[in-house]
């Protein structure tokens, strides 16, 4: 009998027993969605699909794999996000590396990227800028689904850009990565301008919202990716200002918004001279995406 992270590792245990143990430990610690979490961790370590996990309940799990499961489980029990524990997330058909230093891409952002892809004209080839790219999820998904597009992506965080670039290399997607502070007065000169589309999921939480966040978000994801600070519209003001310089005539902005501030962002863009400003609701019915055109 071996001890791994305080957990007993028996020489022989079946997949079904290991799964049950994992579910019980996660449930006892109050981790939401315990079964799904346990399934993901076991499938990752055993190198099998969810169907195979249940199809072969009697299959024995060796001590090394038991110890690996125990190690990942310990991290998840401390409420580290499941995607950090696994080291990746699926985003619009792409497997992206994620980990400390980068926001875990959300389903809402996947939905937003789908809307953007649907609205992108087939021709001419589009020039796109993703502001606050994080793992690179939006930029990489656009480049993957529209290889003809010229895609640029920026972030203030070097940690994020390092992960985004690793994702790009692994997926063999050619995106231009730039370190830039969107709150600065101007963008680096290397960013060319004349964009057809600027897309952004900027930080949009207020400080006081930290108390309502689950520990996975509050204690692990980078604060720079989450909080806008005192002024929840700060990043949208900056995007509106830069859009006038970086977008071509007839270009547009597509921004993810906090469900509480959709109408405020619409007003902000209208007052900043954008036209055809429109708010879209996500699959949960929450205001989520604001479009704004630079027509004049």
Ligand X SMILES: C[S@@+](CC[C@H](N)C(=O)[O-])C[C@H]1O[C@@H](n2cnc3c(N)ncnc32)[C@H](O)[C@@H]1O
Q: Check residue 203 for interaction with ligand X (CB under 6 A).
A: yes
How far CA 152 is from CA of 7, 148, 164, 174, 175, in Å, comes to 47, 13, 12, 9, 6
According to CB under 6 A, which one of 99, 105, 243, 262 is a site residue for ligand X?
105
Residue 202, annotated as binding a ligand: yes
For residues 1-20, which are near ligand X according to CB under 6 A? none
Residue 132, annotated as binding a ligand: yes
Residue 250, annotated as binding a ligand: no
Q: Check residue 160 for interaction with ligand X (CB under 6 A).
A: yes
The CB-of-121 to ligand X minimum distance in angstroms stands at: 23
Q: Check residue 138 for interaction with ligand X (CB under 6 A).
A: yes
According to CB under 6 A, which one of 33, 181, 231, 275 is a site residue for ligand X?
181
H or E, element range at 108: helix 107-119
According to CB under 6 A, which one of 37, 66, 83, 157 is a site residue for ligand X?
157
CB 39 within 8 A of CB 53: yes
The CB-of-203 to ligand X minimum distance in angstroms stands at: 5
Q: Check residue 133 for interaction with ligand X (CB under 6 A).
A: yes
For residues 247-276, which are near ligand X according to CB under 6 A? none
The CB-of-123 to ligand X minimum distance in angstroms stands at: 26
In this structure, the strands spanning 127-131 and 150-155 are: parallel
Residue 49, annotated as binding a ligand: no
Residue 227, annotated as binding a ligand: no
For residues 26-85, which are near ligand X according to CB under 6 A? none
For residues 113-132, which are near ligand X according to CB under 6 A? 132
Segment interacting with ligand X (CB under 6 A) among 52-60, 101-109, 168-176, 284-292: 101-109
CB 3 within 8 A of CB 65: no
Q: Check residue 167 for interaction with ligand X (CB under 6 A).
A: no
H or E, element range at 267: helix 262-271
CB 259 within 8 A of CB 140: no
Q: Check residue 155 for interaction with ligand X (CB under 6 A).
A: yes
Dihedral over Cα of 254, 257, 260, 264: its sign? negative
**CA pair distance 46, 51, nearest whole angstrom:** 12
Complex with ligand X: residue 99 or 203, whichever CB lies closer:
203
Long-range CB pairs of 60-64 (<8 Å, 24+ gap) are: 60/12, 60/13, 60/14, 60/15, 61/13, 61/14, 61/15, 61/18, 63/2, 63/9, 63/10, 63/11
The CB-of-247 to ligand X minimum distance in angstroms stands at: 17
- Residues at the annotated binding site for S-adenosyl-L-methionine? 132-136, 155, 201
- Residues at the annotated binding site for substrate? 201-204
- Residues at the annotated binding site? 132-136, 155, 201-204
Q: Which residues bind ligand X (CB under 6 A)?
A: 103, 105, 109, 132-135, 137-138, 155-157, 160, 180-183, 201-203, 224-225
């Amino acid at each position: 009998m071996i001890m791994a992270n305080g957990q007993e590792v028996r020489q022989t245990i079946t997949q079904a027993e290991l799964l049950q143990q994992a579910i019980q430990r996660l449930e006892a610690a109050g981790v939401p969605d315990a079964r799904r979490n346990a399934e993901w961790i076991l499938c990752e370590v055993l190198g099998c699909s969810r169907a195979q996990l249940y199809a072969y309940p009697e299959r024995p799990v060796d001590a090394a794999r038991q110890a690996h499961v125990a190690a990942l489980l310990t991290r998840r029990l401390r409420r580290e996000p499941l995607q950090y524990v696994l080291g990746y997330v699926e985003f619009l058909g792409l497997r992206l590396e994620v980990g400390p230093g980068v926001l875990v891409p959300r389903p809402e952002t996947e939905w937003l990227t789908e809307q953007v892809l649907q609205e992108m004209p087939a021709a001419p080839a589009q020039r796109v800028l993703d502001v606050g790219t994080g793992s690179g999820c939006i930029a990489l998904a656009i480049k993957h689904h529209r290889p003809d597009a010229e895609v640029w992506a920026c972030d203030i965080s070097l940690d994020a850009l390092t992960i985004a670039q690793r994702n790009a290399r692994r997926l063999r997607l050619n995106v231009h990565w730039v370190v830039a502070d969107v709150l600065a007065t101007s963008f680096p000169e290397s960013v060319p301008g004349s964009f057809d589309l600027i897309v952004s999921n900027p930080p949009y939480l207020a400080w006081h919202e930290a108390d309502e966040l689950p520990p996975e978000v509050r204690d692990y994801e980078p604060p720079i990716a989450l909080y806008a600070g005192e002024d929840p519209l700060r990043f949208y003001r900056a995007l509106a200002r830069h859009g006038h310089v970086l977008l071509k005539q007839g270009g547009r902005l597509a921004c993810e918004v906090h469900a509480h501030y959709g109408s405020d962002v619409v007003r902000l863009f209208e007052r900043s001279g954008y036209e055809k400003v429109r708010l879209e609701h996500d699959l949960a019915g929450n205001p989520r995406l604001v479009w704004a055109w630079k027509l004049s």
